[in-house]
Structure formats: structure tokens, C-alpha cells
Structure 1
Amino acid sequence: MYEEIIEKLDLQMNRMISFLSKKMRLFFQDLEKRFTNRAILLYGPRGAGKTTFLLSMARKHGFLYVSGDEILLLDVPLHDLFQEIMKNYPGIIIDEVHLLKNWSTILKVLYDSFPDKVIWTSDSSSVLLRKGISDLSRRFVLIRMPLMSFREFIHFETGKTLRKLSSPFEVSIDYAAEALKEVDLMSLFRKYRETGTRPFYVEGNFREKLMNILQKAIYYDVPHFLGTVTENHLGVMKAIVGHLLHSKIPTINVESMCREWGVGKQKFYQLLQTMEEIELVNIVRKKRVEKPFSKGEKIFLSDPAMYYAFEGEIGNFREAFVVFALKEIGKIYAVKNEEEGDYVFEGIKIEVGGKSKKKKSSDFVIRDDVDLPVRNVIPMWMLGMLW
């Protein structure tokens, strides 16, 4: 019984491997170096390339790749099947692991029963993983895969590999000048901000695929995380996304939306917090301002490309991109005094805007209309070179 299923799973894996694109994210090179533990939970946004990476690792190491939504797994005892797989392969890779019933128990048993075998797994949300990881934290290492950087997009478009920046404030005119000689940075950045945050852009229909990801997050991830949600709650979250897309001011009026949708504030904040935890939105708060329920100072869609893809308020792309880039490498906060800048990152005050924006007393100004750094002005594209 199990031999036939395993044979079909192996065939399915090899079929998927045969269709892998030759274009791979540069991030995969660094990620592979970190895959040294025998038990790893890889997480990151949908469409970032987790499946592609895991399939390439399965091919390299001779592991069996299994997707959590594989129909062959529906009517078999998963514990027994995976035990049989572990006897015949040096390791197993389970994609979208939370789709499996009792997945955390299965991983724990496999880890303890096969100390010489590798177990790598993935999911689209660290939150979904953390819900079942309390008894796995000593065993499994969590590793994050971010969305695609501008540096990676350049590699996809031109085949050229530009050097990574070690710090967003490495204001090097030599680095920028060297990059400008290699590629048309400003033209590429304009293309990146519209379609370049996920590698599937090369297949076309970027907007439709991004919409599918958005709908899966609202209609699938949120209910999975919260349990029961009503159609009205789903409508609230869609309204939040729609408002953030088109509002010139990156925040929401909680009282107004609660009245309009007939939901209490506590439930509204719960939905908003869940949207943040599944990486639909980025909420920027002031440092040391902790409230049980808060909408923060500013709220952005977590994928800045959405502002262009869905024809939203593109003026918010600038700040959304800065938050997206800096949040990936550290903690970013809203300034307490707006006269001093827009954000604080590792004690550095930052202002974001174009040439017409009023000057503040910030340490650095990040602008999207310049190609070279001058004094304390950093071109926005340079924040896309951090990974």
C-alpha cells in the first residue's frame, strides 16, 4: 500500500523538479548555507519561492518532497506513511505543513524516531507554525524567506549580480556609481516596484496572481488562524485592504469602520492584528508605546508592489517600500516628534519622500527621484540591495 503511494509521490516530485525555472533567486545561495540543521521550519510570504527552493534541495540531497495539500495523503494514516518514507530516504521535505492534520505531533514523532534523518518543512506564515511549535522549539530551527529584493530583480532581468549592501546607511557613492555603470538602475527600479517582489512575475499575469495570494490570505489563512470568522469579518478585512490601497493617509479610522461594518472595537483590532501576523499589512508603531489594541501610527500593505499592481495610491509606495526593506533586517518605529523625521531605525532618524517634501531634522533622507547618494540623501533603490 505505502510503496505505491511513495512511488507516486516520488514521480510527482520529479515531475515538478523537471519544470523548475533555471532562474533562481540570489537569496537561495545564502539560504542554502543556513540549511545545516536536520530539522528546519522555513516560512515566508506566499509566492516568495519556498517551493522552488525546497524542490531544488530535494533534488540535490535525494530527499522526498511532499506537499501538505497532496490528495494522495487524504485517506492514509500519515504517521505510518511518513515512517515508511523515512526508512527509504535520507530525509523528507513537507511543504505547507500546517495543512496536515496533527502536523506538529507528526513532526515531533519523526524527529525523535529518526535521529539520523533530515526533516525540512515550510509554511506561508510563522504564526501558523508558532501555533503548533511550542513542543518543537527545542528541535526545529525557524528560518525566514523574504520577498524578492531589487538586487535579485536586477539579477533576474539582466543576469548580473551586484554586491549586497551590508547596511542601509552605507552611503557609498562609489557603490552607486559602479552599479549605474552596470545597469539602468532607475528604469529597472520603476519596473521592480510594479511587478518585481515575487519571482513568478516572469510568468506574466502578476496582478491576477497577486490577487489570488491576497484572497487566499483573507479567506484561508485568517480563518485557519482565528478559527471561526463570519462573512462580515472577511468583508471588514477586504475593506481595510481597499482603504489602505486608495487612502492618501496610511492609516484607518477605527470608529468609522466599526460603525460601518457593525463590529466591536475588540474584534476589529483582533482582525487587524491577524492581518499583521499573516503579513498582509505592516503596522508601524512608536517605540515603547505598548497597547493591547492599537492601529499604530501608520499602516501599509506589506507588499509595496500592491500599490501599483492594484492601481492604488502610489504616493504611499515610498514609505511602504522603506518599511518593507528595513523591517526585514531590524525594527523600525514611527518618530514621536514628526518634525524630526518619519521613522527611527536602530536609533537613526529617517525621512522619506520626493524632492518636494519639506525638510525635517532627520539623519538621513530617502528619496526615489535620485540615483546617487549626496551627503545624507540615500536613493531609495539602495534599500533594495540588502539581500
Structure 2
Amino acid sequence: MDALLEKSIKKIESTYLEFVRSKIDRIRWEARLIGIKGPRGVGKTTLILQYIKKNLPLDHTVLYVSLDNIWFAQNRLVSLVDDFVKRGGKHLFLDEVHKYPDWSIELKNIYDDFPELKIVFTGSSMLEILNARADLSRRAIIYHMQGLSFREFLNFQTGQNFASTTLPNLIENHIEIAREVNSKLKPLEHFHQYLSSGYFPFFREVPELYHQRLEEVVNMTLEIELPLLRKLEVSYIPKIKQLLQIISESVPFIPNVSKLSERIGINRNTFIAYLFFLQEAHITKNLYKDIKGITQLQKPNKVYLENTNFQFAFSPKNADLGNLRETFFVNQLGHEHTVEYIDKGDFRINREYSFEVGGKNKTAEQIQGVKNSFIAADDIEYGTDKKIPLWLFGFLY
């Protein structure tokens, strides 16, 4: 216990505060049980350590511990918590809970048995909060994290403090918002770097190794998390990696499920289920015409990589420009809005707005007569009326 407390204090002390994700202000930290889900590398650990450093005392009342620590090979979490509370512990932060067997059952018991304790836990984006053995959905407030928005990337890179906006406000006032941003910097100077290597917060650590680290993130997810949490057959992983490269080079990718499942050597339903799991793992994003009632056995209409950085990691010389633009749009909008595939135009957002995504010369011909329709255009600093700069959609979170 003392060794874990010492490690916790050292970890918190070494945490930087120069840049803090805006997600920190959206979390109701006063709640008794908080879960933060998200893919590897998006900064879940850094976020909770920054919260501790900014808001809590650096003493025996606060404990941060990662559940993949070797200490848990011979010790149970519930025993640690019992000892921690007896010593005056009040705030417990548990990282990587999916690495601990039966984590949800023990966490439920801890929540019920220690009402004076506040708990924050982090885990994989595939973490099951609702299950038959330990239903945490009624107890925990769950938050989802994804990589940096273009706005956060600009703030991180330049020291600016641009605020996020809502989609209705962006549509109504995009010229004014663009004017404010352009008065302080040239967003298009930074946009390509963001598309290539600005989504994960570790992009500044060793820039030349960034894409190698991205491949490691994906490999860890495919080879460890998916087999552990979704029983993915390890023998299919090389074929799934091949599929990801195909998606990165497509314009965009419209899956022919029968041909692909035959090529990979698995039956159709298993292949569709794997596409669903890849989306759960935040490696891909599946688009459907009707998002309501989607099941893991429903074929998607289009498949994108989850973010544009993956395209440069998987296929640096063959990344399709149109695919990049659409992937960026789906990623930035999909975090807090519903995104659906439509026949007239590219995307329908919240079942209210329709968008066509393209270059600076894109016209409204394909969305002519469509109510609440707009163009998201690349390579422009300012928009006009219903033509909105594509990069501005990176200011929605």
C-alpha cells in the first residue's frame, strides 16, 4: 500500500499542466462514480492526473493506481480499497480497469460498501458498463474521450485559447468565427499537419516516431484488447490489418461484404460483427443510412478509418484526398452528433442538416433542393452563406 501511494504521488507530481483538454471542464467530478472510456493514446490517464494535480491535495487521501500494475497479480482491488479508506482515503483513481479480471463486480461492491469514497476509473472504449453480473450503468456517470479536435490541436501548438462552438452557431456565424481565428493565425497552415499527425496528444513527444507509435496503438488494440474483450480470433488479425490498409486507400470504402468475407476466410455474419468491433475500438467508423436500431450484424453503407492520422500511418503515399476530407468531417462531427449516410449529399447530421464535403470549388449541385443543406469546403479560409470552411468543423469540441 505504501509503495502504491509513493508511486501515485510521484506520478501526479510529474504531470504537466501546460495544456489541459477542455474535457476536464465537462466532467462532473463531484459524482461518486465516474467512468472515462476511450481508445488508447487519447489522454485519459493524463486527464485524471491533471485533475488531481489541479484540484486535490497531494497526500494520503488521494490514490492513483493503474490496474495493470504487477501488484494486482497477488492482491485484490477490494483489499486495497479497504486499507486505503481505513487510512483516510477519499479519492480513488483507477486506470486501465479492463486489465483487471472481474473489475465491474468488485467496483460495484466497492461503490456499495464505501459510500464515503469517490471513484474515477478509465478503460477501453469497448468497456462493458452494462452487463448481467454487475450493472454499473445505474451507478456510474460515463464519459467518452476521443483524440484532439483541430481546435485543441491549434491551442496546444500555438498557445491560443480558441473556444469550442455548437453546430447551429457554426452554421449561423461561420464567417465571424473564421474571421476571429484568421486574425490570430492562418488555420490552413496547420490543417495538413493535424490531418497527418495531430490527433493524438503524444504528437509532440517524438514527432518522427509518431506514425510508428500509431501502428503500435492499433496493434495493441487488435492483438490484445479485441481478443480479450470481444473474443476476436487472433488468426484473423493479419487479414484485418490488410482490410484497414484497403480502407485507407479507398474513395471512400463501400464494403462488399460477401467478397471481403470470402477473401478473409470467415463467414459473412462474423465479418460484419468484426466491422462492428473495429468501430467499438475506435479504429474505424461505420456509416449507416439509418442509425436507429443498429445491430452488430447490420452491414454498414460506408466504412472510414476513425481518424485521418491512421490513413497516413497505414498508407502514407496513397491516402485519398477525398477520403481524408470525409474522414475528418465524420470524426469531428461524430463525437457529439449522429452522422448518417444519405443518397443526396454525403452526410446527414442529427437528422436535421445535410452536408456535401469537397474542395474549394465544390458546388451545391448534388444537394440542390435539399432542406438545411450546406457545403463543407477544403482549402478556403472563409466561407460564403452555405459554404463553410472544412477546418471550422474542428471547433465543435
Residue pair 2:254, 2:302 contacting (<8 A) in 1 also:
yes
Change (3 A) 1:81 1:151: same
C-alpha displacement at 1:219, in angstroms?
0.6
> For residue 331 of structure 1, what is the aligned residue in structure 2?
338
Please state whether the residue corresponding to 1:182 is helix, strand or coil: coil
Residue pair 1:269, 1:294 contacting (<8 A) in 2 also:
yes
**Aligned with 2:212 (options 204, 208, 211):** 208
Q: RMSD of the alignment, in Å? A: 2.0
- Is 1:270 the equivalent of 2:295? no
Q: Distance in 1 between matches of 2:118 and 2:293?
A: 40
Residue identity in the other structure for 1:364? F
Please state whether the residue corresponding to 2:276 is helix, strand or coil: helix
Please state whether the residue corresponding to 2:376 is helix, strand or coil: strand
**Aligned with 2:25 (options 25, 30, 39):** 30
Please state whether the residue corresponding to 1:172 is helix, strand or coil: helix
C-alpha displacement at 1:73, in angstroms?
1.5
Please state whether the residue corresponding to 1:360 is helix, strand or coil: helix
1:29-78: CA deviation from partner (whole Å, max 9, x where unpaired): 4235x222111111112111110111123333242001011111211233
C-alpha displacement at 1:132, in angstroms?
7.4
Change (3 A) 1:291 1:380: closer
Change (3 A) 1:321 1:228: closer
Residue identity in the other structure for 1:208? Q
> For residue 154 of structure 1, what is the aligned residue in structure 2?
154
Q: Distance in 2 between matches of 1:133 and 1:226?
A: 17
Residue identity in the other structure for 1:73? F
Residue pair 2:252, 2:304 contacting (<8 A) in 1 also:
no
After the TM superposition, which residues 213-292 of structure 1 pair with which residues of structure 2 at under 5 Å, given as runs?
213-227=217-231, 229-231=233-235, 233-287=236-290
Q: Distance in 1 between matches of 2:198 and 2:159?
A: 15
| Runs of 4+ with deviation above 6 angstroms | none
C-alpha displacement at 1:268, in angstroms?
0.9
**Aligned with 2:190 (options 170, 188, 191):** 188
Residue pair 2:359, 2:378 contacting (<8 A) in 1 also:
yes
Change (3 A) 1:126 1:255: closer
Any stretches of 5+ residues in structure 2 without a counterpart?
A: none
| Equivalent residues, number | 377
> For residue 342 of structure 1, what is the aligned residue in structure 2?
346
Q: Name the % identity.
A: 27
Normalised to the residue count of structure 2, the TM-score between the two structures is 0.89
Q: Distance in 1 between matches of 2:320 and 2:279?
A: 21
Q: Distance in 2 between matches of 1:39 and 1:130?
A: 14
Change (3 A) 1:90 1:360: same
Q: Distance in 2 between matches of 1:26 and 1:230?
A: 35
- Is 1:354 the equivalent of 2:364? no
Farther-moved stretch of structure 1 (162-171 vs 190-199): 162-171
Residue identity in the other structure for 2:200? R
C-alpha displacement at 1:22, in angstroms?
3.3
- Is 1:61 the equivalent of 2:52? no
Please state whether the residue corresponding to 1:317 is helix, strand or coil: helix
- Is 1:44 the equivalent of 2:38? yes
C-alpha displacement at 1:227, in angstroms?
2.5
C-alpha displacement at 1:373, in angstroms?
1.5
Residue pair 1:171, 1:378 contacting (<8 A) in 2 also:
no
Change (3 A) 1:229 1:313: same
> For residue 3 of structure 1, what is the aligned residue in structure 2?
none
> For residue 366 of structure 1, what is the aligned residue in structure 2?
376
After the TM superposition, which residues 59-208 of structure 1 pair with which residues of structure 2 at under 5 Å, given as runs?
59=53, 60-62=55-57, 63-88=62-87, 89-131=89-131, 135-167=135-167, 168-204=170-206, 205-208=209-212
Residue pair 1:237, 1:272 contacting (<8 A) in 2 also:
no
Residue identity in the other structure for 1:322? F
Residue pair 1:104, 1:132 contacting (<8 A) in 2 also:
no
Farther-moved stretch of structure 1 (325-334 vs 243-252): 243-252
Change (3 A) 1:348 1:133: farther
C-alpha displacement at 1:230, in angstroms?
3.6
> For residue 13 of structure 1, what is the aligned residue in structure 2?
8
C-alpha displacement at 1:179, in angstroms?
0.8
Residue pair 2:130, 2:136 contacting (<8 A) in 1 also:
no
C-alpha displacement at 1:212, in angstroms?
0.9
Q: Distance in 2 between matches of 1:28 and 1:329?
A: 12
